[in-house]
Structure 1
Amino acid sequence: MKAQNLIQDTQTAAAMMHPLRMRILEQLREPNSAAGLARLLDMPRQQLNYHLRELEKNELVELVEEKRKGNCTERIVRATSRSYMVLLNTAAPVDSDEIGDKFSSTYLLQSAGHMMQDVATMQAGAHKARKKLATFTLETEVRFEDPSALHAFADEVAQTIARLAMKYHQPENAHARPYQFHLFSHPTIKKQDHEKRNESGPRH
């Protein structure tokens, strides 16, 4: 089971977003059978089987094992991921003038979205190849006295990254693996807003 799955197509998103199917995915963080799920969710087995088939068809549920019980075979299934994130690229392109603004939140969101799509594609390939995808993540928090301090910090970071890129970049090496580096910054969300989002937001 993967820790997270990024959903990028409307068919899979539609298959998952049904309220009952989200409850099924929640229960299937641990393997279970259709009969076991029907008891947990207090619903008819036939209705449950229909939703399970749709989830499995869209690779949101996978077969773990089959157990023989008398004349019947019981299928044990589980969710393919512990959490799901939906990212559908339906927005219009951002205006070029706005893209040129490194302090634009719209530009940040578009860049972050492209990064998520690229990483999700490579992660799926690495998962199928049974390999790990080498990535690097750095998080920190800085308190700035005023916007001018933020701008000065951003300029200094940009200069430092440019210097490091020049030092380590090997453009003539055909065997060198290119990496993209993204630096995003946004105000820290207030603690009460973060707790409220976690309480009201869907788990899947």
Structure 2
Amino acid sequence: MFDVAVIEDPAAAEVSLDPVRARLLAELAEPGSATMLAARVGLARQKVNYHLKTLEQHGLVELVEERRKGNVTERMLQATAASYVISPTALAPVQPDPARAPDRLSARWLLALAARLVRDVGALITGADRAGKRVATFAIDGEVRFASAADRAAFAEELTAAVTGLVSRYHDERATGGRAHRLVVALHPSVGGTTAESGTADGADRAAGPVAGA
């Protein structure tokens, strides 16, 4: 079972969004049968079995064991991942396009970048799984507390300069056998704190972050 799986198929996305099926997926972090799950979620076994078959048809759960009990074979199923992310590919006609209105200070542009990140990394994971390989990625996740909006703006400018310098140093357009990599650096108010902490006092709908592609 994977830690995270990306759902790219629209039908699978629709199936996963059903509240009952989402609950069953959560319960199936550990293997279980229709009978076991029926007792946990308070539904008839036949109803649970129907939902499980639908989830299995769309690759969201898989058979891990069959147990013979008298004249009955009990099927033990498990979710294919501990959690799922729905790729913008599932909504292809209306998926965000960061190229449509690039704006470093727009929170909505940042969201479009994040959506593209989910789409592209999801596609890479799918391809790598089929080939039995791993995807070469790197990420940094941290938090910084600014004393003022001015400090935040200064930080963004220095970060932009630093990243631009690194890209200029390592980018080689003529490298034989080289492979292009997408680089995304983002800065946004933390979510879950007080109004002052989350940055709503000076515009929670704004985010500053340098973005570069190589």
Question: One fold, TM greater than 0.5?
Answer: yes
TM-score, normalising length: structure 2: 0.78
Give the structure 2 partner of residue 200 of structure 1: none
Give the structure 2 partner of residue 176 of structure 1: 178
The answer to whether the Cα contact below 8 Å between 1:94 and 1:106 also exists between their aligned partners in 2 is: no
- 1:32-181 to 2 correspondences below 5 Å: 32-88=32-88, 89=91, 90=94, 96=100, 98-99=101-102, 101-181=103-183
- 1:9-28 to 2 correspondences below 5 Å: 9-28=9-28
> Relative to 1, partners in 2 of residues 1:76 and 1:192: Cα closer, same or farther, differing over 3 Å?
farther
Shift of 1:192: 6.5
Shift of 1:127: 2.4
Q: Deviations over 1:90-111 (max 9, x none)?
A: 3565795x42x21110110001
Comparing 173-182 with 117-126, greater Cα deviation is found at: 173-182
Count how many residue pairs are aligned between Structure 1 and Structure 2: 191
> Relative to 1, partners in 2 of residues 1:26 and 1:165: Cα closer, same or farther, differing over 3 Å?
same
Q: Deviations over 1:57-109 (max 9, x none)?
A: 1111111122334444322110111112234443565795x42x211101100
Question: Partners in 2 of 1:111 and 1:58 — Cα distance?
Answer: 28
Question: Partners in 2 of 1:79 and 1:129 — Cα distance?
Answer: 22
Shift of 1:114: 0.3
> Relative to 1, partners in 2 of residues 1:8 and 1:72: Cα closer, same or farther, differing over 3 Å?
same
The alignment yields a C-alpha RMSD, in angstroms, of 2.3
Give the unaligned 5+ runs of structure 1: 194-204
Percent identity, aligned pairs only, is 36
Q: Deviations over 1:99-139 (max 9, x none)?
A: 2x211101100011001110011112222333222211112
Instruction: Return the structure number with greater strand share.
Output: 2
Question: Partners in 1 of 2:64 and 2:194 — Cα distance?
Answer: 40
TM-score, normalising length: structure 1: 0.82
The answer to whether the Cα contact below 8 Å between 1:7 and 1:13 also exists between their aligned partners in 2 is: yes
